[in-house]
């Protein structure tokens, strides 16, 4: 009888699931990112980009008459939940996924997409291990740590003239990946870091780490991490009397950096994914975007929204048009894609590991905003 | 580096001590552990944030207002919620954890991201020796001192304080000599909420406030209380300070990775060696 | 009449069993997925039942121990290339050894102090999983854990895995009933009813408690083993305090002594948390409310365990 109760419970639950109304024949576009937890500001930017792109596409008639329906899965910036979130998208089922933020999350959830044969365009994770010769269904538009960390290492030494560089990094995939490549690049130029410490993403107090760094007397501090740790590190570093200039890669490319550390973040130099001054279209898009989202509860975040928007509007949508929702055809279409995207100098294309090849952009924090980096 | 780590540790230690006080107060009276305590600390910080942004109160009034609101909330929740959880430890623990989850996610609905806290304690940087820190740190240490002195005075010299001690010692007998036991228990909860909320406001300007800031702090404050003696107020204060300083040293001199371990290793070792804590008095039952 | 009733009852059980076994055939994938989790979780919950229901000790370390089982098998299979089934025994063993090493000394503590100690154990294990990066990969987790293979047949899909999970849950159920009915079970129950009386009957109280701890750890480790090969990616956050609380709640809601009750409670709670997922924070608020209200109004799940405080001797503060 007790087993019967168990069966009854499962049966009841099954009825609930099957009774849910069937959705119309929309094209389902899955978006997975953290809308809560530490990565919220990034996830929200991604969602905003997706909403804007889908709205425009649907307003123009959709894809051959079919509208796109967004299915957003929040993974709370947590790798474990990200796997479940992706599984839910697979079960939905969605036709493809454009999104993914956080190297640890994407490295975890791409397994699910690969096993399910679901095209997945990654917009927010930079660890090189994501696009290798092993992934068939996963593509990535954002450039990797290899490019970014190398570029910032180069810039730090050659353009900023740093000689004593200290490194503080998150212990997750993003932080470790960046650190490794940064150190390797420095070594090629013939420099060793003067200090290296790590932290956990959820840490709030960095006195211990920063005290060690202060002892090393650096002139540059590379921060490989994300919000909210990075601005906290900047604030506390300045409090402790560390005068080194901050450098970093895309994890810092978030408008919240300036909100949370208005004074300390000034002068930070970082590589970023998008800047509106690169070309006129970028500026036009950024203006439209800011206007659309400035009234909402969450402030607009162009840097993060830009890739999601471009991936959907210029890569996913055209492929959906030409290849329909057949997953294999979609995959092939994406892998063959090449073209021009705003704010990306030159032409971009996917290499055979599914990585979009492009040049990166260097910016500096000035007057509370990201400004193109002009030299010193 | 020693100075810096020591002072930083002292400040966080004060926070653990004050939040830990909440655990101790409830335990002394009821022999129960309220696991919503850490989240009350967080809620206090947000309450302070909301008030400070609307009303621009200076530091001291802000602390008092938040403390008063939290006190009232504690009394109300005792009557509505906690009173029904006294059956046994497990029920109380799980119930209070549930309350904590509701509190945390309730705040999360309104504040999904970390938010900066207005610098109500000023923003000049002070230098002592090689240690540099925000003046807010001084506020933390001084406020903790004042709080402890006030509490001591209350317990020793006021009728309410003596009533609370009576209930803590033996509720049945206290009832027979005319102490309103229910009121005393409610008062205890109010007090534990108030101190946690005040700690939240004190720490607010030092870091960003986020809905998840109460989790770890609650667990470490709990460890501090057990370490110092969960039925001893001076013990809890001592426990908090020691853990705060020790974990900073561990993070600075050994490895930042294992900083958090300090509090919990101390907890476990203490329980196995001397469950009543450093300064605790009650004899445990080892059957 | 009795004969008729028994066979009618037998019919229902057979039908229920058949429906259960056939589940993957007719249920949508997502449902099978949820069912798998329910079945996997019954293991640590039953384990907790041993500890809590029969010795009166509440543990908030079960999540961490579940994680030890999961990590042991994950590391053995991904780093050393062992076959999954070969790691079952090491995983369980590792969990038991760790639990007894860390908690053995604490088992003699009075109730509330023991809970505190298990919190310490939970946090320590979680922190080590998170920070010992050379061993566990820390916050990056362990990826690409292989599926369990029987011969050449890989348990890759939720449907295939379901049968293993069902078998595991079933075996646990029957094993647990056997242990409870045995002499050990008798000792354990005597312990929870009245410790002083039990010790006066010269029951080896201390050893029995450690055995109970070992048993509960073994079940947790076995559950972790299954979990690792089902989700195929593990991360320390899956084995934190929240997990421990969840298992504890499942065992409390079900009533400590009723294994079937625990299974039902697990099913209900897990289904509830899964189906509330689309609601984001509200899901967690609902979960917190379930815990809170459940404890406020339905502690009856554990009324069998409530020691009458009034009649307890003055010095025994449990």
pLDDT in tens, B118-141: 888 887 888 887 888 888 888 899
Q: Under a CB-based contact definition with an 8 Å cutoff, are residues A114 and A137 in contact?
A: yes
Instruction: Please check whether residue B90 touches A, CB under 8 A.
Output: no
CA distance A226 to chain C (A): 14
- For residue B123, what pLDDT is reported? 79
What ipTM was estimated for this complex? Answer: 0.88
Q: Does residue B285 lie in a domain region?
A: no
pLDDT in tens, C21-55: 887 777 777 778 888 888 999 999 989 888 877 67
Instruction: Please check whether residue B286 touches C, CB under 8 A.
Output: yes
> Does CATH number 3.90.79.10 belong to domain A25-143+281-359?
no
- Work out the mean pLDDT of chain C and round it to a whole number: 81
Tokens representing A54 are: 């889908």
Q: Which residues of chain C are within 8 Å of residue A115 when distances are taken between CB atoms?
A: 156
- Work out the mean pLDDT of chain B and round it to a whole number: 88
Closest-CA residue of chain C to B33: C112
The reply to whether residue C291 touches residue B97, judged by beta carbons under 8 angstroms, is yes
Give the closest of B94, B112, B283 to C295, CB-based.
B94
SS3 (DSSP) at B56:
coil
Higher-confidence residue of B188 and C54: namely B188
Instruction: Please check whether residue A235 touches C, CB under 8 A.
Output: no
CA distance B162 to chain C (A): 22
The reply to whether residue C16 touches residue A3, judged by beta carbons under 8 angstroms, is yes
Confidence grade of residue C300 (pLDDT, cut at 50, 70, 90):
low
Q: Give me the number of domains chain C comprises.
A: 1
Q: Which residues of chain B are within 8 Å of residue C284 when distances are taken between CB atoms?
A: 101, 104-105, 108
Q: Which residues of chain A are within 8 Å of residue C271 when distances are taken between CB atoms?
A: 9-10, 13
Instruction: Please check whether residue A77 touches B, CB under 8 A.
Output: no
Give the closest of A35, A198, A228 to B256, CB-based.
A198
Size of the B and C interface in Cβ pairs below 8 Å: 159
Q: Does residue B248 lie in a domain region?
A: yes
Instruction: Please check whether residue B79 touches A, CB under 8 A.
Output: no
- For residue A16, what pLDDT is reported? 40
- For residue C6, what pLDDT is reported? 58
CATH number at residue B79: 1.10.3470
Q: Give me the number of domains chain B comprises.
A: 1
CA distance B51 to chain C (A): 24
- As a whole number of angstroms, the distance between CA B72 and CA B189 comes to 9
- As a whole number of angstroms, the distance between CA B130 and CA B140 comes to 20
CA distance A200 to chain B (A): 8
Q: Does residue B280 lie in a domain region?
A: no
- For residue C26, what pLDDT is reported? 78
pLDDT-wise least confident of A144-148, A177-181, B10-14: A144-148
User: At residue B240, does pLDDT exceed 50?
Assistant: yes
Instruction: Please check whether residue A251 touches C, CB under 8 A.
Output: no
Domain that holds residue B155: 2-273
Domain that holds residue C79: 29-241
Binding-site residues on chain C for chain A (CB distance < 8 A): 9, 12-13, 16-17, 19-20, 23, 27-31, 33-35, 38, 130-131, 133, 138-141, 143-144, 156, 231-235, 237-238, 260-261, 263-264, 267-268, 271, 275, 277, 280-281
CA distance B231 to chain C (A): 12
pLDDT in tens, A95-123: 999 999 988 889 889 988 998 899 999 99
Q: Which residues of chain C are within 8 Å of residue B256 when distances are taken between CB atoms?
A: none
Q: Which residues of chain B are within 8 Å of residue A228 when distances are taken between CB atoms?
A: 113-114, 208, 210
Mean of pLDDT values over C173-183: 83
Mean of pLDDT values over B209-228: 92
Q: Does residue C296 lie in a domain region?
A: no
Instruction: Please check whether residue A326 touches B, CB under 8 A.
Output: no
Instruction: Please check whether residue A36 touches B, CB under 8 A.
Output: yes
User: At residue C277, does pLDDT exceed 80?
Assistant: no
Confidence grade of residue C14 (pLDDT, cut at 50, 70, 90):
confident
- For residue C308, what pLDDT is reported? 33
**C161 phi and psi angles, rounded to 5 deg:** -65, -30
CA distance C55 to chain A (A): 24
- For residue C313, what pLDDT is reported? 39
User: At residue C186, does pLDDT exceed 90?
Assistant: no
In Å, what is the CA distance from B165 to each residue of A263, B28, B152? 49, 8, 11
The reply to whether residue A171 touches residue C30, judged by beta carbons under 8 angstroms, is no
Q: Which long-range contacts (CB under 8 A, 24 or more apart) does B152-155 make?
A: B152/B233, B155/B233
Q: Does residue C171 lie in a domain region?
A: yes
- For residue C318, what pLDDT is reported? 38
Q: Does residue C83 lie in a domain region?
A: yes
Task: Collect all residues with Cβ–Cβ distance below 8 Å to C207 and sequence separation of at least 6.
Answer: none
* b/e code B168-204 from CB counts within 10 Å (16+ = b): beebeebeeeebebeebbbbbbbbbbbbbbbbbbbbb
Q: Give me the residue label for tokens 């910080």.
A: B45
- For residue C200, what pLDDT is reported? 62
Q: Which residues 222-251 of B have a C-beta within 8 angstroms of C?
A: 222-223, 226
**Whether the bond into C277 is cis, omega within 30 of 0:** no
Q: What percentage of chain B exceeds 70 in pLDDT? A: 98
Task: Collect all residues with Cβ–Cβ distance below 8 Å to C114 and sequence separation of at least 6.
Answer: C57, C58, C59, C106, C107
- For residue C91, what pLDDT is reported? 95
pLDDT-wise least confident of A207-216, A294-303, B2-11, C114-123: A294-303
User: At residue C306, does pLDDT exceed 70?
Assistant: no
Tokens representing C268 are: 């209900």
Give the closest of A41, A215, A256 to B1, CB-based.
A215
Higher-confidence residue of A246 and B127: namely A246
CA distance C293 to chain A (A): 21
Q: Which residues of chain A are within 8 Å of residue B216 when distances are taken between CB atoms?
A: 202
User: At residue A4, does pLDDT exceed 80?
Assistant: no
Chains in contact with B via at least 3 Cβ–Cβ pairs below 8 Å: A, C
Q: Right CATH number for A146-272 from 1.20.120.1200, 3.40.50.2300, 3.20.20.70, 3.40.50.180?
A: 3.40.50.2300
The reply to whether residue B271 touches residue C290, judged by beta carbons under 8 angstroms, is no
Confidence grade of residue A21 (pLDDT, cut at 50, 70, 90):
very low
SS3 (DSSP) at C308:
coil
Q: Does residue C176 lie in a domain region?
A: yes
Closest-CA residue of chain C to A81: C238
CA distance A213 to chain B (A): 10
In Å, what is the CA distance from C93 to each residue of A164, B136, C98, C137? 49, 50, 8, 22
Confidence grade of residue B257 (pLDDT, cut at 50, 70, 90):
confident
- For residue A8, what pLDDT is reported? 45
Q: What percentage of chain C exceeds 70 in pLDDT? A: 84
**Domain ranges within chain A, ordered by starting residue:** 25-143+281-359, 146-272
The reply to whether residue A173 touches residue C35, judged by beta carbons under 8 angstroms, is no
pLDDT-wise least confident of A209-223, B81-95, C93-107, C264-278: C264-278
- CA dihedral sign of residues A317, A322, A324, A325: negative
Instruction: Please check whether residue A351 touches B, CB under 8 A.
Output: no
- For residue A297, what pLDDT is reported? 67
Q: Helices (DSSP H) in chain B: which residue ranges?
A: 2-30, 37-55, 59-80, 89-110, 136-157, 159-169, 171-176, 181-203, 213-228, 233-249, 261-273
- For residue C203, what pLDDT is reported? 52
């Amino acid at each position: 009888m007790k087993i019967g109760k168990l069966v009854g419970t499962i049966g009841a639950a099954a009825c609930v699931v099957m009774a849910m109304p069937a959705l119309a024949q929309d094209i389902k576009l899955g978006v997975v990112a953290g809308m809560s937890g530490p990565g919220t500001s990034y996830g929200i930017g991604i969602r905003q980009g997706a909403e804007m792109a889908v709205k425009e596409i649907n307003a123009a008639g959709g894809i051959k008459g079919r509208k796109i329906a967004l299915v957003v899965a929040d993974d709370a910036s947590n790798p474990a939940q990200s796997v479940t979130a992706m599984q839910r998208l697979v079960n939905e089922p969605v036709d493809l996924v454009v999104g993914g933020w956080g190297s640890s999350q994407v490295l975890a959830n791409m397994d699910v997409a690969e096993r399910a044969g679901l095209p997945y365009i990654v917009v927010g994770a930079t660890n090189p291990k994501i696009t290798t010769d092993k992934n068939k269904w996963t593509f990535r538009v954002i450039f990797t740590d290899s490019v970014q960390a190398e570029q910032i290492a180069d810039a730090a030494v050659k353009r900023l003239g740093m000689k004593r560089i200290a490194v503080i990094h998150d212990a997750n995939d993003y932080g470790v990946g960046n650190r490794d490549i940064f150190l390797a690049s420095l070594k090629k130029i013939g420099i060793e870091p003067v200090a290296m410490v790590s932290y956990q993403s959820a840490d709030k107090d960095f006195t211990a780490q920063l005290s060690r760094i202060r002892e090393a007397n650096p002139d540059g501090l590379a921060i490989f991490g994300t919000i909210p740790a990075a601005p906290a590190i900047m604030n506390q570093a300045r409090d402790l009397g560390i005068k080194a200039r901050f450098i970093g890669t895309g994890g810092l490319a978030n408008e919240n950096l300036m909100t949370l550390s208005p004074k300390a973040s000034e002068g930070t130099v970082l590589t970023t994914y998008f800047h509106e001054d690169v070309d006129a279209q970028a500026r036009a898009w950024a203006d439209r975007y800011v206007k659309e989202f400035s009234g909402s509860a969450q402030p607009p975040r162009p840097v993060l929204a830009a890739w999601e928007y471009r991936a959907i509007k210029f890569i996913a949508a055209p492929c959906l048009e030409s290849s329909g929702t057949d997953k294999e055809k979609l995959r092939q279409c994406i892998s063959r894609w090449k073209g021009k995207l705003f704010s990306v100098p030159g032409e971009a294309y996917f290499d055979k590991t599914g990585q979009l090849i492009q040049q990166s952009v260097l910016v500096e924090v000035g007057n509370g905003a990201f400004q193109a980096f002009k030299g010193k | 580096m020693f100075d810096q780590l020591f002072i930083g540790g002292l400040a966080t230690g004060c926070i653990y001590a004050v939040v830990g006080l909440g655990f101790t107060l409830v335990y002394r009276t009821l022999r129960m552990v309220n696991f919503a305590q850490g989240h009350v600390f967080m809620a206090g910080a947000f309450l302070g944030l909301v008030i400070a942004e609307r009303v621009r109160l200076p530091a001291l009034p802000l602390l008092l207002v938040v403390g008063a609101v939290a006190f009232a909330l504690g009394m109300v929740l005792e009557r509505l919620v906690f009173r029904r959880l006294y059956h046994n430890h497990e029920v109380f623990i799980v119930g209070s954890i549930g309350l904590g989850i509701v509190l945390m996610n309730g705040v999360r609905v309104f504040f999904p991201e970390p938010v900066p806290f207005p610098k109500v304690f000023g923003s000049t940087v002070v230098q002592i020796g090689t240690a540099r820190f925000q003046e807010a740190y001084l506020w933390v240490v001084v406020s903790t001192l004042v709080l402890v002195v006030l509490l001591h005075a209350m317990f020793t010299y006021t009728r309410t304080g003596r009533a609370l001690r009576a209930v803590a010692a033996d509720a049945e007998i206290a009832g027979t000599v005319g102490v309103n036991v229910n009121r005393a228990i409610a008062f205890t909860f109010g007090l534990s909420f108030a101190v946690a909320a005040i700690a939240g406001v004190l720490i607010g300007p030092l870091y960003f406030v986020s809905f998840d800031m109460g989790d770890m702090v609650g667990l470490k404050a709990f460890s501090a209380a057990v370490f110092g003696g969960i039925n001893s107020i001076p013990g809890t204060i001592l426990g908090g300070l020691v853990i705060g300083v020790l974990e900073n040293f561990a993070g600075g001199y050994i490895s930042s990775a294992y900083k958090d371990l300090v509090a919990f290793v101390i907890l476990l070792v203490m329980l196995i060696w001397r469950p009543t804590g450093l300064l605790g008095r009650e004899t445990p039952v080892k059957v | 009449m009795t004969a008729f009733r028994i066979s009618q009852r037998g019919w229902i059980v057979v039908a229920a069993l058949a429906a259960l076994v056939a589940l993957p055939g007719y249920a949508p994938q997502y449902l099978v997925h949820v069912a798998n989790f329910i079945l996997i979780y019954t293991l640590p919950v039953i384990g907790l039942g041993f500890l809590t229901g029969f010795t009166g000790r509440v543990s908030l370390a079960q999540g961490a121990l579940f994680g030890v089982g999961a990590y042991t098998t994950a590391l053995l299979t991904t780093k050393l290339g062992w076959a999954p089934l070969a790691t079952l025994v090491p995983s369980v063993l590792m969990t038991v050894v760790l639990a007894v090493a860390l908690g053995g000394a604490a088992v003699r503590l009075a109730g509330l102090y023991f809970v505190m100690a298990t919190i310490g154990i939970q946090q320590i294990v979680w922190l080590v999983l998170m920070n010992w990066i050379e061993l566990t990969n820390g916050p990056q987790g362990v990826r690409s854990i292989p599926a369990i293979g029987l011969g050449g047949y890989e348990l890759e899909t939720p449907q295939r895995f379901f049968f293993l999970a069902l078998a595991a849950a079933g075996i646990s159920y029957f094993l647990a009933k056997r242990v409870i009915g045995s002499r050990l079970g008798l000792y354990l129950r005597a312990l929870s009813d009245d410790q002083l009386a039990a010790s006066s009957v010269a029951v080896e109280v201390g050893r029995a408690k450690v055995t109970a701890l070992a048993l509960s750890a073994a079940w947790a480790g076995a559950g972790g083993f299954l979990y690792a090969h089902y989700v195929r990616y593990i991360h320390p956050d899956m084995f934190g305090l929240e997990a421990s609380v969840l298992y504890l709640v499942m065992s409390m809601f079900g009533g400590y002594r009723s294994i079937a009750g625990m299974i039902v409670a697990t099913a209900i709670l897990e289904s509830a948390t899964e189906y509330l997922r689309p609601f984001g924070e509200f899901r967690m608020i609902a979960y917190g409310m379930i815990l809170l209200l459940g404890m406020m109004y339905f502690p009856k799940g554990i009324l069998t365990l409530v020691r009458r405080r009034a009649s307890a001797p003055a010095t025994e503060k449990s």
